Amino acid sequence: MSLGKYIAFEGLEGCGKSTHVKRLATRLNAVMTREPGGTVVGSMLRNILIDPANSNLSPRAEALMMAADRAQHIAELISPALGSGQHVVSDRSVYSSLAYQGYGRQQDLAELKRINDWAIGGLWPDLVIYIDVPIEVLLERLQKRELDRFEREDRAFFERINAGFRAMAASDPKRWLIVDGMPPKDELEKLISAGLLARLGI
Ligand code: TMP
C-alpha cells in the first residue's frame, strides 16, 4: 500500500485555517487533526498551553509541551495513518513551533529544530499550506473573541511570527504553498485544491 500524504495548514490565529482543514480533509477522505490537541494526552497539554491563567509558563516549558504534544500526535495518530495509506490533514504542525516559540518567543531556532525533529522522529509535513492574511485583519477578528494565552500577545509578537512563517516558506518553496486568505471561502478552496494537485498530484 502506498504511503499517505501529510498536509499541514499554518497561519496566524483567525486566518481561517480550520474551515479549510475541514473542507480538504473531507474532500480527500483524510484523517483530520490538529496541534496542539490531536490526541487525548495532547488535549490535556493544549488546555495547559492556552489557559490564560498560566501566564508564568516559561518559554522553554511551552516549547517542550508543544514538542511533547507533537511526539504523541505523530506516534499515536499521524504515523500509523500515513503508514496505512491514509492522507492526514492537520491544523498546525512542527512549523508552528518554529514560528511561535522560535520567531515569536525568540527561542534558539537551531535548538528548537533539533528538539522537534527528535520529537517527530524526522516526520515533517509533505506540504504546508500557509493562509496569508494581513495582521490588521487578524487583530480585528480577534477583538470579537474570548482570547486564549497566545491571542493576548501584542502585535509585535504576531509580526515576528508572520515574518518567521514567510522566511521558512521562502527558504523551502517546494514544501510550502502560500495562499492569499482574503478571497471568499469557496474561491480559496479552489486555489488550495489547484495547489494540491500541482504539488502532490491529489
Ligand atoms: P490554534 O488556536 O490554532 O489551535 O492553536 C493554539 C495556539 O497554540 C495558537 O496560538 C498557536 C499556538 N502554537 C504554538 O505556539 N506552537 C505550536 O507548536 C503550535 C502547534 C501552536
| Ligand 1 site, residue 97, Cβ cutoff 6 A | yes
In a domain, 130, yes or no: yes
pLDDT digits (tens, 9 = 90+) for 9-54: 999 999 999 999 999 999 999 999 999 999 999 999 999 999 999 9
Q: What residues make up the domain containing 180?
A: 6-200
In a domain, 169, yes or no: yes
> Total structural domains in the chain?
1
For ligand 1, atom 9: residue with the closest CA: 150
Phi, psi (rounded to 5 degrees) for 30: -100, 165
In a domain, 79, yes or no: yes
Using DSSP, state whether 63 is helix, strand or coil.
helix
In a domain, 196, yes or no: yes
| Ligand 1 site, residue 92, Cβ cutoff 6 A | yes
Return d(Cα 33, Cα 72) in angstroms, integer.
Answer: 13
Place of cell 499550506: 129
CATH number, domain at 11? 3.40.50.300
In a domain, 158, yes or no: yes
pLDDT digits (tens, 9 = 90+) for 130-141: 999 999 999 999
* Percent over 70 (pLDDT), the chain: 100
In a domain, 1, yes or no: no
> Cell for 85?
495509506
Among 199, 88, 104, 96, residue whose Cα is nearest residue 152:
104
Nearest atom in ligand 1 to the alpha carbon of residue 35 is 20
Nearest atom in ligand 1 to the alpha carbon of residue 149 is 10
> Cell for 47?
488546555
| Ligand 1 site, residue 66, Cβ cutoff 6 A | yes
Q: Helices 59-73 and 109-119, interaxial angle, to 10°?
A: 30
pLDDT band of residue 62 (cuts 50, 70, 90) is very high
pLDDT of the residue at 2: 75
pLDDT beyond 90 at 166:
yes
Mutate-to-test residue for ligand 1 from 89, 100, 101, highest number of ligand atoms within 8 A of CB: 100
pLDDT digits (tens, 9 = 90+) for 90-117: 999 999 999 999 999 999 999 999 999 9
User: Using CA atoms in the order 42, 46, 47, 49, what is the torsion angle rounded to 10 degrees?
Assistant: 140
pLDDT band of residue 56 (cuts 50, 70, 90) is very high
